Amino acid sequence: MRTIDWVDGAVELIDQTRLPDELVTLRIGTVDELIGAIRRLSVRGAPALGVAGALGVVLARGDRDAVARLRAARPTAVNLAWGVDRAAARIPEGPEAVLETALRIRDDDIAACHAMGRRGADLLEGDRLRIMTVCNTGGLACVERGTALGVAHTLHEQGRLAEVLALETRPLLQGARLTAWELGRMGAPHRLVTDGAGPYLLARGGVDAVLIGADRIAANGDTANKIGSYALALGAARAGVPFIVVAPESTIDPDTPSGEHIEIEDRGADEVVAFRGARVAPEGTDALNPAFDVTPHDLITAIVTEERVIRP
């Protein structure tokens, strides 16, 4: 199953807002349609956004204004801009060159996820490992397989995975809706954990490693990821549990010196005061909704990419 692909002249992607109730594929033929899908999180996850950005440049057909709007659709995840820029650099060579680059980014992402899965699994010692994670970092966040959840997938294939403890990941419940769905499909043992319980469970023991993905990794190793990651890093540090970031090289942004320079997207109050159209807070309630937080590099045990293990 591929999260996103190029099929007969259009982008096809799984509509992640419909999961786990329905597995629906959207066919996207214009840049504006793709921007809409990105903003409403029909397609999400840093690596998948990189592929979406590159394929979106193909849809733009040389329209530089459309390319610029696509590049700005989500500010925190560096992969979107990275994918757009790589494909846009080939525009002067013609549409076939742009498509060639976009498909290479797609194929490179698949290979990178397999490599990260092996490298991450090799980094962890033990035969019955209990892994904690936040948000969704499986195949739905990439093209196939995944980053942090890809490591769990590899451990499961090796018979070394005891359990995945997946945080629900509020307010949109990507852990409950998406990660649990993917773990169920792979037949991996798992349980859901409320976000606030994660650090407490780390303190109690029984968790062997925390694995997270990343939306942007600054030059010094500070890492922006889904909100809740920082709390897990603090809990892991206190408990002496390895806290490992798994992300492709394309998520490392050498132009961002440190985490304080990462723009954090605020997605507005609607996602907090309501869920799937049903209000859960009193009328008139406002909310803060930072979609990401930043984990300082000194709380990170290792960053695993397809090419190396970095010790920040």
Please identify which residue in the block is written with the tokens 């394309």: 250
Closest to 156 in 3D by CA, of 115, 135, 194, 185:
185
69 CB-side CA count, 13 A? 15
Cα–Cα dist 92/51, whole Å? 20
Helices 46-60 and 95-123: crossing angle in degrees, nearest 10, is: 170
Contact 88, 121 (CB under 8 A): no
Q: In the numeric block, which tokens belong to residue 37?
A: 């899908």
Cα–Cα dist 308/312, whole Å? 12
Contact 143, 5 (CB under 8 A): yes
Please identify which residue in the block is written with the tokens 């195949």: 139
Q: What DSSP letter does each residue of 212-241 carry, written as one string? A: E--SEEETTS-EEEETTHHHHHHHHHHHT-
Q: In the numeric block, which tokens belong to residue 278?
A: 């049903």
Closest to 134 in 3D by CA, of 53, 65, 204, 223:
223
273 CB-side CA count, 13 A? 11
List the catalytic residues.
215
Cα–Cα dist 144/1, whole Å? 7
Closest to 58 in 3D by CA, of 34, 87, 24:
87
